[in-house]
Amino acid sequence: MTKWEAVIGLEVHVELKTNTKIFCNCSTEFGGDPNTHVCPVCLGLPGTLPVLNKKVVEYAVKAGLALNCEIASYSKFDRKNYYYPDLPKNYQVSQFDLPIAKGGYLDIEVGGETKRIGIHHMHMEEDAGKLVHQGTIMASPYTLVDYNRGGMPLVEIVSEPDMRSAEEARAYVEKLRSVIQYTGVSDCKMQEGSLRCDANVSVRPVGTTKLGTKTEIKNMNSFKALQRAVEYEIERQIEVLEDGGKIVQETRTWDEAKGITISMRSKEEAQDYRYFPDPDLVPVVIDEQWVKELRDGLPELPDSRKARYVEQYSLPAYDASVLTAIKEMSDFFEEVLDYFPQPKVVSNWIMGDLSGLLNANQQELTDSPITAKQFAELLKLIDQGTISGKIAKTVLEEMVATGKEPATIVKEKGLVQISDEGELTKIIEEIIANNPKSVEDYRNGKTAAIGFLVGQTMKATKGKANPGLVNKLLKEKLQ
Ligand SMILES: [Zn+2]
């Protein structure tokens, strides 16, 4: 039986976080009333002239540098012609044969192995407007057009077809998002469409080099959807080929509810865009000195931060990867260390309980009221033996919910750990008296039985007993 290999390439659109659009002064703010962020230029009215926003070029160069690309000293804008109601000019201003950046790469990690994914090029372009339907596109009696998004600055990052699994595709987009977020040129929110991704997928027999016929999948709006869509499409293509069928080159859409990809249009119907240079826009000439300045101004990027964490803080590579994936998380970690310099302890609490709580509340670190200083205070309370690790989880929950100081919460709720030997001895004597079976088991050599007695003691003290002390006292009493 033939063994198949998937070949995946990704096209990722990233919206740049400039204040104004790419060719006019309209606001780029998300969520305005329909058609309130528009002007004659971005509506493409006759007689208007676009003027390139320098900030867009600056951000594109930064993104290109962060993706290890070569920045073109000379690039130009082209018109990509197509007729569709989301585009009143009937062409999209984009870059065709001379993009701003070329030949980069991203290193991804899958299954503990690092793999380098090539980036073919990155170009700048304007976004189109958005069509709004009542209910589904098929059932809607009309189509409304919102041009607020028209003219928003985008970069499109086109990878080489270097990915071999859905997992690698997901790792690539996650890494891409992380790197771009570090540069500060985009917030890369998939839900708000500031990061959008299309996947080109084909399969071929393992050992061959010729590319199979590919399909393009659109409409994946989360990392999970991307992975599922690519997985599904690989399976589908293998099945078609094993049944003796042929793959048709086409665009497919991901149906999240059904968990399948559906054909949208075949290649035959696809447009020939008839690109030609935009006569209204002068070529983009970039000074080497400016590129150097922008390169020098880039922040420390996730890979180098990760390496530093392993080196400087002796953290496991896994911890370092998780902590540096999101810049805010990584910054928070370093700030906590300023107050509580025990890297592994801080890392455990951030990756474990704090991340768990934020995920459960569907919160980002930046949405929560907790400060690095407060978080460090909490860890100090555990370190000093004032509260147990178990109680600390309760305190942390309250901190994330209210933003109160940990010491205040401990005081208000009477959560101070019981470390008084006399007080604990009394409780332990009672536990021993009430659980003769476990005591007997322990004395007969079933040492694990002590776990039950520790648990009972913790329960009796509502988790406030100092666990180390409980263990010690119990062992003494059971001798
Ligand atoms: Zn405008």
Contacts of 10 (CB under 8 A, 6+ apart): 158, 159, 163, 169, 172, 173, 197, 198, 199, 200
Say how many Å lie between the CA of residue 282 and the centre of ligand 1: 19
Identify the burial level of 338 via C-beta atoms within 10 angstroms of its C-beta, where 0-12 means exposed, 13-18 middle and 19 or more buried: exposed
Ligand 1 geometric centre to CA of 291 (Å): 28
CA distances 10 to 99, 138, 312, 382, 407, Å, are 17, 28, 35, 46, 49
**In the predicted model, what is the mean pLDDT of the chain?**
93
Q: Alpha carbon of 81 to those of 155, 172, 276, 446: distances in Å? A: 18, 30, 9, 79
Give distance in angstroms: CA of 378 to centre of ligand 1. 50
Residues 6+ apart with CB under 8 A from 318: none
Q: How far is the CA of 193 from the centre of ligand 1 (A)?
A: 19
Residue 406, Cβ density class (10 Å: 0-12 exposed, 13-18 middle, ≥19 buried): buried
How confident is the model at residue 403, as a pLDDT?
92
Cα(148) to centroid(ligand 1), Å: 8
- Report the C-alpha gap between 58 and 62 in whole angstroms: 6
The backbone torsions φ and ψ at residue 256, rounded to the nearest 5 degrees and listed phi first, read: -60, -45
How many Cβ atoms sit within 10 Å of the Cβ of residue 339?
Answer: 16
Residue type, 459: K
Of the CA atoms within 13 Å of residue 418, those in its CB half-sphere come to: 19
pLDDT (0 to 100) of residue 324:
96
Query: Contact at 8 Å (CB) between 249 and 214?
Result: yes
Average pLDDT over residues 309-325: 95
Distance of alpha carbon 19 from alpha carbon 268, whole angstroms:
40
Q: Which secondary structure element, helix H or strand E, spans residue 422, and what is its range?
A: helix 421-434
Query: Tokens for 205?
Result: 């027999």
Measured in Å, residue 451 CA sits from the centre of ligand 1 at 69
User: Ligand 1 centroid to 26 CA: how many Å?
Assistant: 4
Which pLDDT score, from 0 to 100, does residue 479 have?
A: 78
**How many A from CA of 149 to the centre of ligand 1?**
10
Q: How far is the CA of 273 from the centre of ligand 1 (A)?
A: 24
Determine the distance separating the centroid of ligand 1 and the alpha carbon of 75, expressed in angstroms: 23
Mean pLDDT across 310-317: 96
Amino acid at 300: E
Confidence at residue 191, expressed as pLDDT on a 0 to 100 scale: 82
Residue 4 reports pLDDT greater than 90: yes
What does R_g of the chain's alpha carbons equal in angstroms?
Answer: 29
Identity at 317, one-letter amino acid code: A
Q: How far is the CA of 22 from the centre of ligand 1 (A)?
A: 9
The predicted model scores a pTM of 0.85
Please say whether the beta carbons of 122 and 101 come within 8 A.
yes
Dig out the tokens for 37 from the structure.
Answer: 């962020």
- How far from the centroid of its chain's Cα atoms is residue 396's Cα? 24
Mean pLDDT of 77-99: 93
Q: Read off the pLDDT band of 468 (50, 70, 90).
A: confident
Backbone phi, then psi, for 167, in 5-degree steps? -65, -40
Quote the ligand 1 centre to 155 CA distance (angstroms).
Answer: 18
Q: What is the DSSP string of 256-272?
A: TTTTEEEEEEEGGGS--
At residue 269, the pLDDT reads: 55
The mean-pLDDT minimum among 156-160, 181-185, 418-422 falls in 418-422
Cα(77) to ligand 1 centroid in Å equals 18
User: What is the mean pLDDT of the segment spanning 86-102?
Assistant: 95
Q: What are phi and psi of 125, to 5 degrees?
A: -160, 170
Residues in Cβ contact with 26 at an 8 Å cutoff, skipping those fewer than 6 apart: 20, 37, 38, 39, 41, 42, 151
Alpha carbon of 59 to ligand 1 centroid (Å): 19
Distance 43 CA to ligand 1 centre (A): 7
Q: How many CB atoms lie within 10 A of CB 50?
A: 20
Question: So what's the pLDDT on residue 270?
Answer: 55
Do 218 and 251 form a contact (C-beta atoms < 8 A)? Answer: yes
Compute the distance from residue 50 Cα to the ligand 1 centre, in Å. 9
* E strands present in 16-134: 70-71, 74-75, 78-81, 91-94, 101-110, 113-126, 130-133
Distance CA 309, CA 43 (A): 49
Q: Name the amino acid, one letter, at 319.
A: D
Q: How far is the CA of 38 from the centre of ligand 1 (A)?
A: 4
Cβ contact 79:69 at 8 Å: no
How does pLDDT run across 250-304, given as a tens digit for each residue?
A: 999 999 999 999 998 776 555 678 899 999 999 999 999 999 999 999 999 999 9
Locate all alpha helices (DSSP H) within 31-104, ordered by sequence. Answer: 54-66
Kindly give the distance from the C-alpha atom of residue 102 to the centroid of ligand 1, in angstroms, as a whole number: 29
> Given pLDDT bands bounded at 50, 70 and 90, which one contains residue 464?
confident
Tens-place pLDDT, residues 208-231: 999 999 999 998 989 999 999 999
pLDDT, one tens digit per residue, over 397-415 is: 999 999 999 999 998 888 8
In Å, how far are 54, 98, 124, 307 from 71, measured between CA atoms? 15, 11, 12, 26
Tokens (6 digits) for 39: 């002007």
In this predicted structure, the answer to whether residue 349 has a pLDDT above a threshold of 80 is yes
Instruction: Measure 66 CA to ligand 1 centroid, in angstroms.
Output: 29
| Bridge partners, 265 (sequence order) | 251
pLDDT digits (tens, 9 = 90+) for 361-378: 888 888 889 999 999 999
Q: How far does residue 150's CA lie from ligand 1's centre (Å)?
A: 8
Amino acid 467: pLDDT = 81
> What distance in Å separates the CA atoms of residue 266 and residue 415, rounded to the nearest whole number?
66
